[in-house]
């Protein structure tokens, strides 16, 4: 059973919530608290009985401890709990305070179906990542670090009074960490966007320059990466590879005649596909260093799995799902190493990211054996990749030649 704690100071809202969610009582064990202080005591009490809460849903505005302070405490006490905040639109400024401590924001009054869907989805993600230690580690991540040189560039850009939204967007889009952090913010239902946002450009124009400056310079939502010393791991290389994979994914999607939304999703999923490597290198440098060292050039997701019982694909997908990114992107990240295992067995985003990753990693091999590229055999034959591959490869080589000019 999923255990959920709802926190709201208004008795009517708690009662309404109770009634609204009665149909879930066979799947969810629900507790209700009237203040932040009571919520913390309830969490403590159940934790002592070894029944921690899987999800905490809190109102933002409450007398005494508000939702932002409460979720900051919950993050420390119970890092693997999924943390959701409910808030009215007038609270945009205070919501900004919760950015690092909240996984998703929901609009108040909340649509019961949306709330059910959000909780079910967040919880279903746990199947991806069964290791409790890693669930805690990933649950605590509020934002991802940025490449120092790009971070400095964004800071300079934001402090320049003549910089436009598009200038800022272009710099942010060069960085994996900032892209993920920004999309986390705008993907939440709180902002009430009718369509999911999958480009940095749209995310930036939606948030607006003033709020972005407040978030970056005031709240420090972007962080410069500290040096990560894991043998075999390079932040610069990961960034470079992510940008290349994103470009190759958009190119393949274009070759397949997909629409603009699919092209944007392909680019975003390509950009974020290996984000789990960054999480692993940052959170367990010693263990991950050994995995990378033992695997050497023969590194695959299978070698990771042997040692960690999980892969960078699962870790990345879990994080992005927790942050409310779209199912399409989360699925592509989860299955980019083994698209043959994806639930949708078509030439879709997981296959495109898988192939884009290989194109980005092996650009020089004009006629390599598919085995050498370690392309998933099921997708080679099952999804017709074998026939498309020469055209994709030619397009990629042409793209690289054009980029060199």
* Chain centre to alpha carbon of residue 78: 20
Q: Least distance from C-beta 4 to Fe ion, angstroms?
A: 33
> Would you list the DSSP string of 170-221?
HHHTT-HHHHHHHHHHHHSGGG--SS----HHHHHHHH-HHHHHIIIIIS--
- Do residues 30 and 6 touch, judged by C-beta distance below 8 A? yes
By beta-carbon proximity to Fe ion, the closer residue of 16 and 368 is 368
The vertex-97 CA angle with 93 and 103, nearest 5°, equals 115
Q: Least distance from C-beta 358 to Fe ion, angstroms?
A: 9
By beta-carbon proximity to Fe ion, the closer residue of 175 and 274 is 274
By beta-carbon proximity to Fe ion, the closer residue of 331 and 357 is 357
Q: Least distance from C-beta 315 to Fe ion, angstroms?
A: 11
* Position closest to Fe ion via CB: 357
- Do residues 104 and 71 touch, judged by C-beta distance below 8 A? no
By beta-carbon proximity to Fe ion, the closer residue of 163 and 301 is 301
Where does residue 31 fall: left (phi above 0), alpha (psi -120 to 50 degrees), or beta otherwise? beta
Cβ within 8 Å of residue 390, ≥6 positions away: none
- Residue 280 corresponds to which tokens in the numbers above? 């692993």
- Residue 312 corresponds to which tokens in the numbers above? 């960078």
CA dihedral of 202, 205, 209, 211, whole degrees rounded to 10 = -80
By beta-carbon proximity to Fe ion, the closer residue of 187 and 338 is 338
Q: Least distance from C-beta 176 to Fe ion, angstroms?
A: 11
By beta-carbon proximity to Fe ion, the closer residue of 153 and 357 is 357
Rounded CA-CA distance 374/340 in Å is 13
Q: Least distance from C-beta 391 to Fe ion, angstroms?
A: 21
> Would you list the DSSP string of 275-303?
HHHHHHHHH-HHHHHHHHHHHGGG--HHH
Q: Least distance from C-beta 274 to Fe ion, angstroms?
A: 4
By beta-carbon proximity to Fe ion, the closer residue of 80 and 274 is 274
By beta-carbon proximity to Fe ion, the closer residue of 159 and 300 is 300
By beta-carbon proximity to Fe ion, the closer residue of 216 and 246 is 246
- Do residues 330 and 320 touch, judged by C-beta distance below 8 A? yes
Q: Least distance from C-beta 307 to Fe ion, angstroms?
A: 16
Q: Which of 350, 368, 376 is nearest to 252 (CA)?
A: 350
Q: Least distance from C-beta 195 to Fe ion, angstroms?
A: 28
Q: Least distance from C-beta 354 to Fe ion, angstroms?
A: 9
By beta-carbon proximity to Fe ion, the closer residue of 54 and 314 is 314
Q: Least distance from C-beta 356 to Fe ion, angstroms?
A: 9
Question: Strands 104-107 and 145-146: what pairing?
Answer: unpaired
Q: Least distance from C-beta 316 to Fe ion, angstroms?
A: 8
> Would you list the DSSP string of 4-19?
EEEE-S-HHHHHHHHH
- Do residues 147 and 175 touch, judged by C-beta distance below 8 A? yes
Cβ within 8 Å of residue 109, ≥6 positions away: none
Q: Which residues lie near Fe ion (CB under 5 A)?
A: 274, 357
By beta-carbon proximity to Fe ion, the closer residue of 54 and 274 is 274
First to last CA, the chain: 58
Burial tier of 67 (Cβ tally within 10 Å: 0-12, 13-18, 19+)? buried
Rounded CA-CA distance 343/181 in Å is 27
- Residue 262 corresponds to which tokens in the numbers above? 């699919």
SS3 199: coil
């Amino acid at each position: 059973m999923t255990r959920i704690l709802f926190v709201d100071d208004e008795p009517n809202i708690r009662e309404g919530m109770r009634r609204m969610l009665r149909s879930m009582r066979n799947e969810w064990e629900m507790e209700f608290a009237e203040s932040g202080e009571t919520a913390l005591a309830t969490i403590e009490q159940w934790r002592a009985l070894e029944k921690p809460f899987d999800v905490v849903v809190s109102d933002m505005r409450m007398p005494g401890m508000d939702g932002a302070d409460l979720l900051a405490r919950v993050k420390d006490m119970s890092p693997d709990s999924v943390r959701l905040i409910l808030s009215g639109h007038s609270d945009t400024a205070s919501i900004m305070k919760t950015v690092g401590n909240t996984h998703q924001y929901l609009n108040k009054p909340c649509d019961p179906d949306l709330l059910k869907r959000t909780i079910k989805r967040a919880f279903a993600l746990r199947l991806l990542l069964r290791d409790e230690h890693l669930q805690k580690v990933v649950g605590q991540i509020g934002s991802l670090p940025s490449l120092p040189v790009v971070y400095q560039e964004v800071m300079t850009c934001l402090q320049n009074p003549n910089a436009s939204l598009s200038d800022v967007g272009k710099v942010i889009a060069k960085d994996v960490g900032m892209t993920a952090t920004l999309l986390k913010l705008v993907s939440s239902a709180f902002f009430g966007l009718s369509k999911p946002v999958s480009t940095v450009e749209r995310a930036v124009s939606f948030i607006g320059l003033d709020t972005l400056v407040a978030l970056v310079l005031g709240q420090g939502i972007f962080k410069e990466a500290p040096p990560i010393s894991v043998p075999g791991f390079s932040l610069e290389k990961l960034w470079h590879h992510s940008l290349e994979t994103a470009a190759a994914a958009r190119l393949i999607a274009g070759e397949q005649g997909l629409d603009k939304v699919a092209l944007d999703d392909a680019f975003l999923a390509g950009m974020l596909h290996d984000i789990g490597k960054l999480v692993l290198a940052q959170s367990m440098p010693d263990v991950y260093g050994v995995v990378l060292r033992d695997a050497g050039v023969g590194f695959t997701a299978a070698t990771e799995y042997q040692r960690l019982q999980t892969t960078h694909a699962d870790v990345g997908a879990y994080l992005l799902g927790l942050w409310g990114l779209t199912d399409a992107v989360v699925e592509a990240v989860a299955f980019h190493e083994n698209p043959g295992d994806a639930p949708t067995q078509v030439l879709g985003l997981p296959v495109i990211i898988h192939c884009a990753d290989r194109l980005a990693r092996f650009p020089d091999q004009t006629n390599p054996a598919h085995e050498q590229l370690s392309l998933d055999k099921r997708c080679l034959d099952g999804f017709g990749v074998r026939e498309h591959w020469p055209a994709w490869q030619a397009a990629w080589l042409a793209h690289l030649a054009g980029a060199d000019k």
